[in-house]
Amino acid sequence: MSEVCVEAGSAALQNPFVKQMVVQLRAMDSYGTYDTWGDDKVLDPMILTKARRREIPVVGDPDEVVISRVKAYYNAIAVRVEQECGMMAVPMINLTHEGFGRALIMVGKLVVVDKALRDVHRFGFDSVEKLDDEGEKIVARALATIEKFRAAAED
């Protein structure tokens, strides 16, 4: 992954979901490696262009770094849901060693996000804008579910 896919001055880096994604990725950096990195460099591994995807085998097991990126993504979604609705959102991720599983986000007794995961070793987005679009789309659907079933969410 030698090419840089995230521009330092990109306007997308200022979007709430992308900012939260950076916060989550930095939180998983227990050795302080990201302390001197800009947000663009922290987010760069989340972006998989066609060239980067070609470098990843079609079949493979995810390593701990990729799994931590998946967790950071769903943590960012949960935080955005919390910020918007004011209720605690809890992400739960269950993955097999082969990269298959499920991601859930619960608010109260309500499941607001239920996503089947497969080929996690190839987890990533075409661009920062696509990352933001997909994340905010999931947040919007979760918020609509909360509004529809508010009693279960408040339980």
Q: DSSP secondary structure string, 11-67?
A: GGGGSHHHHHHHHHHHHT-TT-GGGGS-HHHHHGGGB--HHHHHHS-SS----HHHH
Inter-residue contact 8 to 40 (CB < 8 Å):
yes
Is a pLDDT exceeding 90 seen at residue 80?
yes
Residue 6 falls inside a structural domain: no
Residue 1 falls inside a structural domain: no
Residue 4 falls inside a structural domain: no
**Closest residue by Cα to residue 15 from 36, 34, 43:** 43
| pLDDT of res. 3 | 65
Rounded to two decimals, the pTM is: 0.92
Host H or E run for residue 110: strand 110-117
Domain containing residue 29: CATH number: 1.10.3100.20
Is a pLDDT exceeding 50 seen at residue 9?
yes
Residues spanned by the domain of 37: 11-154
Percent of the chain with pLDDT over 70: 95
Residue 3 falls inside a structural domain: no
Inter-residue contact 120 to 100 (CB < 8 Å):
yes
Determine which of 4-13, 30-39, 59-68, 130-139 has the lowest per-residue pLDDT on average.
Answer: 4-13
| pLDDT of res. 4 | 62
Pair type for strands 89-95 and 101-107: antiparallel
Q: Which residue has the higher pLDDT, 51 or 6?
A: 51
Q: Which residues contact 39 (CB under 8 A, 6 or more apart)?
A: 13, 19, 22
Residue 63 falls inside a structural domain: yes
Number of domains in the chain: 1
Residue 135 falls inside a structural domain: yes
